[in-house]
Structure 1
Amino acid sequence: MSRPLPSHGLLDRVLPILFPAMLFLLLNGCASVSYYGQLASGQLQLLRAREPVEKVIADPARDAKLRSHLAQSQKARTFASKHLHLPDNQSYRLYADIGRPFVVWNVFATAEFSLSPQNHCFPIAGCVAYRGYYSQSAARGEAALQQLRGMDVSIGGVEAYSTLGWFNDPILNSMMGWGDERLATLIFHELAHQRFYVQDDTEFNESFATFVEQEGTRQWRAFRGLPAENDSRLKQRDQFIQLILDTRARLEKLYAQPLPAGQMRERKAAEFEQFRRDYRVVRDSQWAGDKRYDAWVNAPLNNARLLPFGLYDQWVPAFAALFRQVGGDWVRFYAEVEKLGDLPTVQRKAALKKLAGS
């Protein structure tokens, strides 16, 4: 059932009460007041910036490209609920211009010789493998502190996130730069988080949402009579991710060895160079020299830069297999996903591994 959108006046009355209460709950943890303060103020800014998409589309004074983009987004939004059985509420039927290219910047950190992320725990979302900041400078400050502690660190800008149904999430200006189809995929992904979410299991949540995004996009194209997405581009993406996952696997074996720190660093650097060599071989022999991933590959590499790939993609094959098992029935699929989510962590991972191998 959709929740009514509060007026700005009601928001102004409710939020001064709501956010101190949220902060009181959050600050019972071990994180700093300043960190949770920026979370509250950032979310407040986002909520206050919301306006109905229909209002923007109907306003001839607004940018014509924006209005057209939003009009297309609403077709995808309707498709998400009617055909993908994702939540039917006011999320992504609102728009907010927050005046920056990303809504948050996530800081990932690992120990120098580990691929286990530094987790951060929150009362609602549970434990996640990153820390989010509404300011890029604040994210850089956190990254610098982690680097001083000897950690491998990476910062990633995020176009959108889900409040898991606690608020009606808007389409953001940060979501608008990738074309109509990319905006649709973001909507599918974020609504999937609202559809189902397991505390303390980032790999499960992100892989589930990524599968819904990918399959939803395939069906969205078919619904509009468009051909399937370019197979060569999909193959390149999958091959690139596999190169990264293979590198992760080699590094995990390396870090399990009882080597002196200096030798470990040398072999770690050698593994990253091996990844670059493997990438160039695949690029030149199979992709006709397509250099779309060159900038990412040639930038400085560390453990933290590899984290999002394992987190966002690890169980996508398992969810794809589950979707096939239920004959592509979204309602049955979500029911089976919920059963997986209810399992204890060890059993859940075992079930996912079994599905991925099927």
Structure 2
Amino acid sequence: MRSAAGRIAWIFSAVLFSGCSNVGYYVQSVSGHLEVMRRAQPIVQVLADSATPDSVKHRLERVLAIREFASRELGLPDNGSYRSYAALDRPYVVWNVFATPEFSTRLKEWCFPMAGCVGYRGYYAREQAEAFAAGLKARGYDVVVRGVPAYSTLGWFEDPVLSTIIRYPETEVARLIFHELAHQVVYVWDDSVFNESFATAVEREGVRRWLEAQGNDALRAAEAAARGRREEFVRLVLEYRGRLEELYGADVAEEEKRSQKKDLLGALAQAYQRLKERWGGFSGYDHWFDGELNNAHLASVAAYTQLVPAFEALLVKEGGDLVRFYAAVKALARQDKATRLAALEALAADAGGTEPGRPLSHNAGAKKVQW
């Protein structure tokens, strides 16, 4: 692994040779990340500091327990990531911009030196994200901006735990840490769906084992309730995503598509209100409906769920052994994209998740959403 100085030098080299149109974006990315790293302190030092509030100390103590569990029980990287803490003065560390064409639920992709091509573009300042989103919208794209509480540098840096993470319930903190560490195990250039679905499968299994180890009935009950709501929410969104895909593939005039699209998105909002009523008024997903609904809202959900059933089937095939599971995923990662997808579709079909040849995106209900 490169030294910290070497990694920084490499990143700045990538900025200089990335082309004039991208330099400003990369500069904010590098400077934003370095500012986060500048604020990072070892958690043990933060715990020893008398000025640290007791509420923060308690949460960081639980973070350390989760972090040790991640490496000891889940086989996730045993390094300096998530063993330091950075306090930020904002609710999210970055804001991601997602975009789709007007009549498509396929995310627009951007390509970067370190991460390959991904279906979003991230900014450390919300104002910059909103400005970029406005430019895309002016060009006819459907756009949504989402705040993100954590991210992974894929092992290039020792990522800190952020104040934007520890404000969440304990199981959500565990979920985020397991997810981001999974990206350090396997990450495929130019395949966001593969990467995010793998990490989601790891976090789901990790949280299950974490709760089992804690022996805490209250935590297990809270997680079961949250997971149930999550599954119903994603199932609802993907149902309407499928309806929109059928509409966009139909042989009708654009004006008619535009009208029916509006009706379907309005129906989705109404269906969510009925779902909330069944949940007793739980409002945890209200923020997802902020602003005018569009394709980008729905596409950003599928990016994290599409291949999860296949990865979960692979874990079962490997007898629940995470080390063997990681090795099998690494073997898949070495294949070309078409071969990987075919293998994962076959796994899901064998497990009863979908029919051979049927896209997994149509069978991705009841899976994890990352926000």
For normalisation by structure 2, the TM-score amounts to 0.87
Counterpart pick for 2:132 among 138, 142, 146: 142
Counterpart selection for 1:199 from 189, 208, 228? 189
1:91 aligns to 2:81 (yes or no): yes
Q: Which runs of 5+ in 2 are unaligned?
A: 352-371
> Kindly tell me: are residues 18 and 340 of structure 1, through their superposed partners in 2, closer, same or farther at Cα, counting changes over 3 Å?
closer
**Match for residue 256 of structure 1?**
249
Contact 1:218 1:229 in 2 (8 A): no
2:90 is the counterpart of 1:103: no
How many residues matched?
Answer: 346
Amino acid at match of 1:156: R
Contact kept in structure 1, 2:70 and 2:178, CA below 8 Å:
yes
Secondary structure at the counterpart of residue 214 of structure 1: helix
Change (3 A) 1:20 1:274: same
The answer to whether the aligner puts 1:51 opposite 2:41 as a matched pair is: yes
Q: Equivalent of 2:322, from 321, 330, 334?
A: 330
User: Which among 49, 65, 90 is matched to residue 55 of structure 2?
Assistant: 65
The code of the aligned residue for 1:39 comes to S
2-side partners of 1:55 and 1:340: how far apart?
A: 41
Residues 1-358 of structure 1 aligned to structure 2 (within 5 Å): 14=5, 19=8, 21-30=10-19, 31-227=21-217, 228-230=220-222, 231-284=224-277, 287=279, 290-294=282-286, 296-297=288-289, 299-357=291-349, 358=351
The secondary structure found in structure 2 opposite 1:118 is coil
Residue 113 of structure 1: CA displacement?
A: 0.9
CA drift at 1:32: 2.1
Amino acid at match of 1:348: R
- Aligned residue type for 1:29: S
Amino acid of the residue matched to residue 28 of structure 1?
A: F
Alignment CA distance shift 1:60-1:282 (3 Å): closer
CA contact 1:110–1:116 (8 Å) conserved in 2: yes
Cα-to-partner distance string for 1:75-124 (whole Å, 9 max, x where unaligned)? 11000000000000000011111322111100011111111111011122
> CA shift at 1:290, angstroms?
4.6
Structure 1 regions of 5+ residues with no counterpart?
none
Q: Aligned with 1:32: secondary structure? A: helix
Partners in 2 of 1:330 and 1:355 — Cα distance?
A: 17
Decide whether the 8 Å contact of 1:207 with 1:315 is kept in 2. Answer: yes
Q: What's the TM-score once normalised by structure 1's chain length? A: 0.90
Distance 1:176 1:41 in 2: 23
- The residue identity in structure 2 corresponding to 1:68 is H
* Alpha-carbon RMSD: 2.1
Q: Match for 1:254: what amino acid?
A: L
- Please say which of residues 291-300 and 224-233 is displaced more in the overlay: 291-300
Post-superposition shift, 1:356? Answer: 2.2
Q: Distance in 2 between matches of 1:163 and 1:191?
A: 10
In 2, the alpha carbon distance for the partners of 1:141 and 1:48 equals 27
Change (3 A) 1:232 1:170: closer
Q: Whole-Å Cα distance in 2 between the matches of residues 105 and 295 of structure 1? A: 14
Provide the C-alpha distance between the structure 1 equivalents of 2:322 and 2:187, rounded to a whole number of angstroms. Answer: 16
Q: Distance in 2 between matches of 1:93 and 1:209?
A: 20
Question: C-alpha separation between the residues in 2 aligned to 1:298 and 1:148?
Answer: 19
Check conservation: 1:341, 1:348, Cα contact below 8 A. yes
- Identity across aligned pairs (percent)? 43
Contact 2:15 2:27 (8 Å CA) reproduced: no
Write the distance in 1 (CA, Å) between the matches of 2:7 and 2:190: 25
Larger displacement relative to structure 2 (217-226 or 80-89): 217-226
Secondary structure, aligned partner of 2:95:
strand
Deviations 1:31-50 (A, max 9, x none): 42211110111111112111
